[in-house]
């Protein structure tokens, strides 16, 4: 046996409290937020959405024109220093109209995504988790709402309530959680048979906690993708409703309405379609970036 020379080793001084936790423990949501902040594209998406929200709120006020001011001497002007986005067939400033439309379309996007997240995820998760008869009844209700003609109850809502944004929200609210509910339910049906759910049950975790802390975070990928579909769909459904005379009424215009108006003049005045379409696409892009980042951030497997 060799004797280790004394000089080569130095006894480590014991730290005062080796059990001390160096980093504060983070909750699921703190951790998700921390990871979201690192995701560059997601932050870019967040910045774009915030920017759109701010311009939608402030832009129409700062603009020298109003969304409804007609100027028949300047109809169908191409973009210029005076009218950055040009004018429409009644000489209305397109920039102002697009910014004003952002209020309506973004509101529609946010409200429907909240509805599909709130109602759709809860409904689908409950149906999928309990399964059997509960699932059967809950899913048949979804089928019924899916089967009823959308236009029919939109008209009925317009008769009962007055036409306007609130009615559109309610009409969209009735249908825009159905797809989400179906997709979440399918995911939960599969996830709940996995071992980690069995483990959770064995350790006595309550039903609500299993659903919200174990099942839903694992279904986050499909949830986010579905949500990014819901937003543009809702924006264009609103345009379709306006086209049928059931949406927001002129001279107020949403992006969907502006796009369908611009589409009619696509041959002669393409910018009338280009700018609303550009704003819609940029918004979608931002939501998609944010959605991808959220998916990564909320994925419990990537937690460190």
Partner 1 sequence: MLQYTIRRLLAILVTLLVIATLTFVLMHCIPGGPFASEKELPPPILQNINARYHLDWPLWKQYFDYLAHLARWDLGPSFKYESMTVNDIINNGFPVSATLGGIALGIAVIFGITAGIIASMNQYKWQDNLVMFLATIGFSVPSFILASLFIFVFSYKLGWLPAALWGSPQQVIMPALALSALPTAFIARMVRSTMLEVLAQDYIRTAWAKGLSGGLVVYRHALKNALLPVFSYLGPLTAQILTGSFVVERIFAIPGMGRHFVTSIANRDYTTIMGVTIFYSIILLLANFLVDIAYAYLDPRIKVAGGKE
Where in 171-210 is the site for partner 1 (CB under 8 A)?
Answer: 178-179, 182-183, 185-187, 189-190, 193-194
Q: Do the beta carbons of residue 273 and residue 253 sit within 8 Å?
A: no
Rounded Cα–Cα distance for residues 166 and 2 (Å): 86
Rounded Cα–Cα distance for residues 253 and 106 (Å): 12
- End-to-end distance of the chain based on CA atoms, in angstroms? 44
CB-wise, 110 or 263, nearer to partner 1? 263
Helix (H, G, I), strand (E, B) or coil at 68: coil
130 binds partner 1 (CB under 8 A): yes
Helix (H, G, I), strand (E, B) or coil at 176: coil
CB-wise, 56 or 230, nearer to partner 1? 230
How many residues bind partner 1 (CB under 8 A)? The answer is 60
Q: Do the beta carbons of residue 219 and residue 184 sit within 8 Å?
A: yes
229 binds partner 1 (CB under 8 A): yes
DSSP classification of residue 265:
T
Where in 5-24 is the site for partner 1 (CB under 8 A)?
Answer: none
Rounded Cα–Cα distance for residues 169 and 157 (Å): 11
Minimum separation from the CB atom of position 161 to partner 1 (A)? 13
222 binds partner 1 (CB under 8 A): yes
273 binds partner 1 (CB under 8 A): yes
Q: Say which residues have a Cβ less than 8 Å from residue 11's Cβ, sequence separation at least 6.
A: none
275 binds partner 1 (CB under 8 A): no
Sites of contact with partner 1 (CB under 8 A): 130-133, 135-136, 139-140, 143-144, 146-149, 151-153, 155-156, 159, 178-179, 182-183, 185-187, 189-190, 193-194, 221-222, 224-226, 228-229, 232, 236, 239-240, 244, 256, 259-260, 263, 266-267, 273, 277, 280-281, 283-285, 288, 295, 299, 301
């Amino acid at each position: 046996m060799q004797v280790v020379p004394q000089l080569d080793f130095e006894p480590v001084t014991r730290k005062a409290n080796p059990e001390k936790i160096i980093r504060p423990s983070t909750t699921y949501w703190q951790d998700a937020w921390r990871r979201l902040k690192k995701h560059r594209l997601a932050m870019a998406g967040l910045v774009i959405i915030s920017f759109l929200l701010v311009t939608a709120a402030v832009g129409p006020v700062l603009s020298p024109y109003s969304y409804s001011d007609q100027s028949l001497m300047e109809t169908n002007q191409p973009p210029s220093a005076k009218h950055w986005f040009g004018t429409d067939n009644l000489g209305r400033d397109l920039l102002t109209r697009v910014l004003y439309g952002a209020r309506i379309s973004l509101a529609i996007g946010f409200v429907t995504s909240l509805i599909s997240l709130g109602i759709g995820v809860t409904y689908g998760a409950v149906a999928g988790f309990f399964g059997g008869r509960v699932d059967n009844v809950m899913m048949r209700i979804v089928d019924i709402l899916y089967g009823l003609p959308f236009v029919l109850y939109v008209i009925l809502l317009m008769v009962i309530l007055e036409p306007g944004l609130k009615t559109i929200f309610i009409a969209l609210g009735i249908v825009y959680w159905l797809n989400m509910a179906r997709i979440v339910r399918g995911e939960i049906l599969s996830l709940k048979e996995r071992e980690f759910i069995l483990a959770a049950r064995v350790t006595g975790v309550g039903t609500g906690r299993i659903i919200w802390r174990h099942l839903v975070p694992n279904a986050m990928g499909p949830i986010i993708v579905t949500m990014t579909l819901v937003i543009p769909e809702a924006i264009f459904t609103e345009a379709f409703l306006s086209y049928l005379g059931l949406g927001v009424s002129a001279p107020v215009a949403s992006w969907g309405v502006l796009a369908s108006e611009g589409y009619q003049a696509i041959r002669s005045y393409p910018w009338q379609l280009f700018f609303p379409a550009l704003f819609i696409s940029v918004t979608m892009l931002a939501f998609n970036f944010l959605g991808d980042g959220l998916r990564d951030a909320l994925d419990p497997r990537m937690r460190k």
